[in-house]
Chain A
Amino acid sequence: MRTEFRLSGSGGQGLLLAGIVLAEAAILEGKNAVQTQSYGPEARGGSSKAEVVISEDEIDYPKATDPDYLLALTADAYKTYGPLMNSGLIIVDSSVSLDAEIKARTLSVPILAAAADTVGKKVTANIVALGVLGGLSRLATRDALRKAVTARVPKGTEELNLKALDVGLGLAAQSGTPAGSLK
């Protein structure tokens, strides 16, 4: 079964890294994974989108066609990609006000706030988000996610990021959303 993730926000939020780690965790679980991206010319700011497709089978098409999960960390991202969602789940940061026109099932999660307050570093929002996506999709175990995080984050920040991962997994558990594909 093919599961598609779209991680969107602003350049510099580290969503590409979150996508890579999610894909690597899936590979550690023996699954196939493909990660793609689109980005503007800006290194910081501007729009940023990373996509991850995870499947037990061969993945012929690498991009998300009808995402199972949309992560939107900014209002812009929510407004751009939210309307494209069908049966998948939108996970939007609590700082973004919801739009009644966007009909897909939506979960408002305090990802940015949790990174700043609970983890204590705003820059860990991407890994908190990874935890949320990992926890909701259950396509990779906590162990695999931890391994993948440790391998990718800058040396010396492992503990901080593992904490962020757990905070994200915690947010997913609290959301009361059933795990697995929602389609």
Chain B
Amino acid sequence: MAEFLDYFRKERLPHIWCPGCGHGTVTGALIRAIDKLGLDKNKIVMVSGIGCSSRAVGYLDFDTLHTTHGRAIAFATGVKHAKPSLKVIVMTGDGDCTAIGGNHFIHAARRNIDITTIIMNNSTYGMTSGQYSPTTPHGMLGTTAPYGNVEHEFDVCELAKASGASYVARATSFHVTLLTDLIEKALMNKGFSVVEALTQCPTYFGRKNKIGGPVELLNWIKDRTVNVKAAAALPPEKLAGKLLIGELYKAERPEYCATYAETTARVQRTYNDYKGGNRGCELNSD
């Protein structure tokens, strides 16, 4: 446990999350995956946007960048493109990533830039007290969906896959071992990797929808999911309304920074006598 806490800025604890919130569980899974892989703390940059999930980075002992709402992936793209040797991890939520930040999400996936994105999906805007989000299931309640959600939800993993992400997986804050394992694999993938972690917001989502406390909500989430391996043997009627968990998609695709580096090398062979700009400035470059 002591070692685990070494990844935290202990002086910034306790965190602001509500009792029973699942974000700590997801953050813990991420830390265990990082620890297992033995990644260098000094070479990791954690980027987040706005929302409950995005507060996670403030407690972690890495270079951390807590940005504006929805833009974490765009900031992360700048970090990664400027310094590809860094391991860039985005911690985001369903609203941050798929509503206000949806455009950056799909374009980062399209580029297949080597960023690992952990989406803590609690189906609500917790920070602003429980409005419906792009992942609130149809018909369920939110403070802005008092008569039931009129809209239909995103399947975040299908969105990531269709947009070009090269690693896509889903787990929940109930299936912690699976979640840790999937994050570890995502961190190893060289490309845009997405792990959606279904997680519980008992304070707003659970209460508003009268699901019960954290335990009941966690069970409710668990019951919505079927492991992708088990699903292969199940008839379609058993899968109706279920979300698959496990490794959902993996593909070998050229990674953005690597392709850019290849292009740069080709350009530099052509222009090795270039005198236009400034190549110095060593201090400000890697």
* Direct chain A–B contact by Cβ atoms under 8 Å: no
Q: Which residues of B contact A (CB under 8 A)?
A: none
Q: Which residues of A contact B (CB under 8 A)?
A: none
